[in-house]
Amino acid sequence: MDQTLGRIERRARKSIFHALLAASHKKGANAVALTDGDGRELTYKEIIRASFAIGGPLARATATGEKVGVMLPTGAGAVIALMAAFSQGRTPAMFNFTAGARNLKAAARAAEVRKVVTARKFIEIGKLEGLVDDLKGAVEFLYLEDMKEALTPVDKARAVLGPLLPRLFSASPDPDSLGIILFTSGTEGDPKGVALSHSNILSNIYQIAEHVKILPSDIFFNPLPTFHCYGLTAGTLWPILNGYPVVLHPSPLQTKIVPKRIFDTGATVLFATDTFLQQYMRAAEEGQMSSLRIAVCGAERVKDETRQIAERRFGFEVLEGYGVTEASPVLAANQPGDIRAGTVGRLLPGVVARLEPVEGLSGGQRLFVRGPNIMQGYITPDAPGAVKPPEGDWHDTGDIVAFDDEGYMSIRGRMKRFAKIGGEMVSLAVVENCATAVWPDNMHAAAILPDDRKGEQIVLVTDKASPDRALLLAWAQNHGVPEIAVPKKIVSVAAVPVLGTGKLDYIAVSRLAADGVGLSDEQKRAREARLSEIDDRLAARQSGEAAAPALKRAAE
């Protein structure tokens, strides 16, 4: 382990752009690095050349060290914009174009972003003109099409000479300096920026490479957004910087197109969430996803049914990973041929865990982590640009976990996803798992709402038409699940809301639940205040501003 960690740390002692140069040198400049959404293939040489070229207009429009927003879909444009910023010593901040103008303005304020790189074609196709109009005044947009038109003879010369003399024409930042900024969802209050160094990102990439063995013939497929750390680090940078070709797709929501592109490209490794993978398999024609060897799923729990369908219909394994943005993001993952059902595998090399008991909970403890991939800290709108490091270098994940004797980790749930009913703690994940077992072809999400008698109640939101609670209760009784974990109220909706990242949108779910059971305005305000208070207290804990007892009271 010490040798592995030493190797990871040595490889991470460079900037992300220089890691691209190293991958090009090792793999060969003319090797295909990525295939774009339109089928166009780009070699390492072409990506590096384009990065040097676009770096010219970007450098003229910004200052050294400036934070520059990047608002682009997953594809070659996003990769080139990122690498252009890195090559010129700028810090990209990834903008979630599904987050809405309010959250993006808060993100820009927190990270001190004044200019955002995007593309006119993307704005047009995505029908984001209204978002751009709303953001005018807060940020200035730099369009890739305009930057290409603005190339000077010097820029074109840099594009030619840069790949030949890269260290002469590119910035060489300290690996421990701020490399990239990503943002939390901001579903309750303003989003927080997560400050990650070059070394953080590269450490995680090389940790994954040491942990999950890949075949030389593997071709990756990534439809996940690069504004999300999973789609950025694992889905895009991991293959490119390790010398594997990756097929990039601009949207995970195109459930009929994704299986066809997997078939057409012969992809063998897919990045997805459980929700998206289920949708792809339902939409796929017979054999259309059979080129896959593994699907790597994160961001939410992988259901047993998902693995069974993948193996039975298409013959591939589903690996479940676990991570958080603050860890760049991967902390643990199953390995090919070593999948322990109900676990997310072992921790990656170099990740150290610390567990703390939680009052009222048995069978799991709160997880704190430390390692070379853990963030520099948070950036918040109330202190723009200031990085607040995690206390003692330990990040509080807020997740309840358990380890077995061999080090395999199981996720019991998020601290905020436990309801306290009559003094007992009930995991919403258990509620959702029961519903999935009874109605496997539907989507389900559980929400916590106030209850005048027991303090809190659980409501199940499902797209199952006319769900019969008696079936849910019977299944729970037959499988040893306590009746307290069976929601007394079930709300049927046309569609369970999902975020652009593939995660269930629990805030929207909670509001659907509140509307479905007819909460009073006062109860709705109490629910909003509770969630907001928990978020505030958890954020305060990260910056060392709140005492542990206060945090515990908020979580309870």
pLDDT tens digit string along 431-490?
A: 888 898 899 989 898 888 887 776 678 899 999 998 999 898 888 888 878 787 888 889
Per-residue pLDDT band at 553 (split at 50, 70, 90): very low
| Inter-residue contact 383 to 372 (CB < 8 Å) | no
- The DSSP call for residue 128 is -
- The DSSP call for residue 284 is S
* Contacts for 21 with CB less than 8 Å, ≥ 6 apart: 48, 166, 170
Instruction: Tell me what pLDDT residue 100 has.
Output: 87
Question: 543 in helix, strand or coil?
Answer: coil
Helices 521-542, 548-555: inter-axial angle, 10-degree rounding: 150
For 443-496, what is the HEC assignment? CEEEEEEEECCCEEEEEEEECCCCCCHHHHHHHHHHCCCCHHHCCCEEEECCCC
Q: Which domain range does residue 169 map to?
A: 2-403
| Inter-residue contact 444 to 496 (CB < 8 Å) | yes
The domain that contains 18 carries what CATH number?
3.40.50.12780
Per-residue pLDDT band at 529 (split at 50, 70, 90): low
- Whether 538 is covered by a domain: the verdict is no
Query: End of a domain among 403, 431, 463?
Result: 403
Task: For residues 78 and 245, give the distance between their C-alpha atoms in angstroms, rounded to a whole number.
Answer: 16
Question: 162 in helix, strand or coil?
Answer: coil
Task: For residues 100 and 120, give the distance between their C-alpha atoms in angstroms, rounded to a whole number.
Answer: 18
Q: Which amino acid is at 459?
A: V
Instruction: Tell me what pLDDT residue 376 has.
Output: 97
The domain that contains 505 carries what CATH number?
3.30.300.30
Please write the tens of the pLDDT for every residue from 283-294: 999 989 999 999
> What's the gap between Cα 250 and its chain centre?
15
Report the 10 Å Cβ neighbour count for 140: 13
Residues 349, 442, single domain; the answer is no
Per-residue pLDDT band at 422 (split at 50, 70, 90): low
Peptide bond into 223 cis (omega under 30): no
Residues 377, 427, single domain; the answer is no
| Mean per-residue pLDDT, 343-354 | 96
- Whether 409 is covered by a domain: the verdict is no
Residues 247, 293, single domain; the answer is yes
Sheet of strand 409-414, all strands in order from the earlier edge strand to the far edge: 352-356, 365-370, 395-403, 409-414
| Mean per-residue pLDDT, 77-101 | 95
From residue 442, alpha-carbon distances to 89, 92, 470, 491 in Å are 47, 38, 17, 13
| Mean per-residue pLDDT, 292-316 | 92
Query: End of a domain among 353, 370, 403?
Result: 403
Question: 230 in helix, strand or coil?
Answer: helix
| Mean per-residue pLDDT, 69-85 | 97
Residues 346, 427, single domain; the answer is no
Beta bridge partners of 382: none
| Inter-residue contact 77 to 102 (CB < 8 Å) | no
| Mean per-residue pLDDT, 22-40 | 96
Task: For residues 539 and 11, give the distance between their C-alpha atoms in angstroms, rounded to a whole number.
Answer: 32
Task: For residues 445 and 516, give the distance between their C-alpha atoms in angstroms, rounded to a whole number.
Answer: 13
- Whether 553 is covered by a domain: the verdict is no
Q: Which amino acid is at 284?
A: A
- Whether 18 is covered by a domain: the verdict is yes
Residue holding tokens 């909003």? 528
* Contacts for 305 with CB less than 8 Å, ≥ 6 apart: 278, 436, 440
Report the 10 Å Cβ neighbour count for 305: 14
**Six-digit token string for 230:** 């999973």
Residues 353, 483, single domain; the answer is no
| Mean per-residue pLDDT, 137-143 | 96
| Mean per-residue pLDDT, 18-47 | 96
- Whether 416 is covered by a domain: the verdict is no
* Contacts for 389 with CB less than 8 Å, ≥ 6 apart: 376, 377
| Inter-residue contact 390 to 215 (CB < 8 Å) | no
For the chain, percent of residues with pLDDT exceeding 70: 89
Instruction: Tell me what pLDDT residue 382 has.
Output: 87
What phi and psi, each to the nearest 5 degrees, are found at residue 333?
A: -165, 150
Residues 151, 209, single domain; the answer is yes
Residues 370, 465, single domain; the answer is no
**Dihedral angle, C-alpha 7, 49, 68, 62, nearest 10 °:** 120
Residues 389, 511, single domain; the answer is no
- Whether 330 is covered by a domain: the verdict is yes
Strands 317-323 and 294-297: parallel
Helical segments of 170-229, H only: 198-211, 229
pLDDT at 543 over 50: no
Please write the tens of the pLDDT for every residue from 173-182: 999 999 999 9
Residues 459, 313, single domain; the answer is no
Residues 259, 111, single domain; the answer is yes
| Mean per-residue pLDDT, 330-343 | 91
- Whether 545 is covered by a domain: the verdict is no
Residues 13, 156, single domain; the answer is yes
Report the 10 Å Cβ neighbour count for 282: 12
Please write the tens of the pLDDT for every residue from 205-246: 999 999 998 999 999 999 999 999 999 999 999 999 999 999
- Whether 536 is covered by a domain: the verdict is no
Per-residue pLDDT band at 187 (split at 50, 70, 90): very low
Q: In the predicted model, what is the mean pLDDT of the chain? A: 88
How many domains would you assign to the chain?
A: 2
Residues 386, 461, single domain; the answer is no
